[in-house]
A = this chain, B = another copy of it.
Amino acid sequence: MPGNTFGTMFRVTTWGESHGPALGAVVDGCPPGLTLTAEDINQELAWRRSRDTRVSTSRREPDQVEIMSGVFEGHTTGTPISLAIYNRDVDSRAYDPLKGLFRPGHADYTYWHKYGIRDPRGGGRASGRETVARVAAGAVAKKILDQQGIIVLAYTLALGGIRAQKLDFDEIFNNPLFCPDPEAVVLILQRLQEVKGAGDSVGGVVEIRARGCQAGLGEPVFAKLDAMLAGALMGIGAVKGVEIGSGFAAADMLGSENNDSLTPDGFLSNNAGGILGGISNGDEIVVRVAVKPISSIESEQQTITVDGKVTTLSVKGRHDVSAIPRIVPVCTAMVRLVLADMLLQQKAIR
């Protein structure tokens, strides 16, 4: 099954290249009767844009979605919702020198081997820009979650080796890093400047929480909720690890420490991250992803040409020093897509 469709009952198909005319998503299976406007989607797309030049460079004009189908008089009709985001501020010239070589850390080499052809302009389909369609689709999924009172929140837990020391969720949207710790923000911004100056890049950790989610979501044994979340998040470019609840720390724990005791008022702890046996347990769902440092760096790197000749590379042009914070709303979107799909699937059986 070609890989550009996600989900079963709430089903998203995305398309588009970084430097093509547009990118988009077709959302199929959205229940009828939900209110949906372009503005609902544009708000989510705006989060994905950088808001601070210290953090990332960016196309100048904000992304604007066009709803091409599936909505009538402001309500979803149950038919597929086609969303398109046109590429405006495109300049492919910067990529010409990159056409004949494989950039380290990028998908150039693998697309070439997989397809025997690749669109080198801005990374083509492998560009981070692909995620704009995910975020647009996630905004539709949000409408379903809103009805159930489910809130998905993502934030920067660590960046450039600096970790948030407190989780003040009210602070997340008050800084350009989506970071819940204002003091960490100061240190991280300083670190980003240094790294940028050195022509290098950094990685970090994003944490995502879903609140208000009923017990019972997830389809054992292969489409468990944790399995779907892991697949959804690991499929975002730059993500190299996913963990749920206590995650890798659980590997060093005792059963008596890691088990969450049940009481009539709920669980006494949440090492499970809200998921037991692959099914939501009604507690907060907690997921973390490891984000690798962005691959495009100005520092000179060794690589080869398409013809297998040794060469060096120093990437100039527009590129961020980290995939974080742009990746934060993408994580939110993917978790929303999973939860919306699982909600509809659970409705089908009970």
Q: How far is the CA of A105 from the CA of B257 in the complex (A)?
A: 11
- Do B26 and A221 touch across chains, with their CB atoms under 8 A apart? no
Which residues of the other chain, B, contact A234 by a CB distance below 8 angstroms? Answer: 224, 226-227, 229-231, 242, 244
CB interface residues, A 96-129, toward B, < 8 Å: 102, 104-107, 109-111, 113-119, 121, 124-126
Which residues of the other chain, B, contact A75 by a CB distance below 8 angstroms? Answer: 117
Label chain A's interface by main secondary structure.
Answer: mixed
| A60 at the B interface (CB under 8 A) | no
Of A3, A200, A276, A310, most buried by chain B (CB within 10 Å of CB) is A3
Number of copies: 4
Please give me the residue from chain B that is nearest to A20 by CB atom. Answer: B69
CB interface residues, A 309-350, toward B, < 8 Å: 309-310, 344-350
| A23 at the B interface (CB under 8 A) | yes
- Do A15 and B82 touch across chains, with their CB atoms under 8 A apart? yes
**Contact digits for A1-44, partner B, Cβ 8 Å, 1 yes 0 no:** 11111101101011111001111101011011100000000000
Q: How far is the CA of A29 from the CA of B113 in the complex (A)?
A: 16
| A251 at the B interface (CB under 8 A) | yes
CB of A91, distance to nearest CB on chain B (Å): 17
Please give me the residue from chain B that is nearest to A120 by CB atom. Answer: B72
CB of A230, distance to nearest CB on chain B (Å): 4
Contact A69:B237 (CB < 8 A) given known A2-B11, A3-B224: no
**Contact digits for A229-261, partner B, Cβ 8 Å, 1 yes 0 no:** 111111101011111111111111111111111
| A138 at the B interface (CB under 8 A) | no
- Do B28 and A13 touch across chains, with their CB atoms under 8 A apart? yes
| A268 at the B interface (CB under 8 A) | yes
| A212 at the B interface (CB under 8 A) | no
Which single member of B235, B272, B349 contacts A227 (CB below 8 Å)?
A: B235
Which single member of B16, B32, B219 contacts A350 (CB below 8 Å)?
A: B32
- Do B117 and A77 touch across chains, with their CB atoms under 8 A apart? yes
User: Lowest 6 CB-CB distances: which A-B pairs, in order?
Assistant: A107-B277, A231-B231, A3-B219, A227-B235, A241-B243, A3-B223
A-side residues, CB < 8 A to B, are 1-6, 8-9, 11, 13-17, 20-24, 26, 28-29, 31-33, 66, 68-70, 72, 75, 77-82, 84, 102, 104-107, 109-111, 113-119, 121, 124-126, 130, 158, 161, 195, 200-205, 214-224, 226-235, 237, 239-264, 268, 271-273, 275-282, 290-297, 299, 301-304, 308-310, 344-350
A107-B277, A263-B304 given; name 8 further pairs at CB < 8 Å: A16-B68, A77-B124, A78-B114, A158-B251, A230-B234, A231-B231, A250-B290, A256-B301
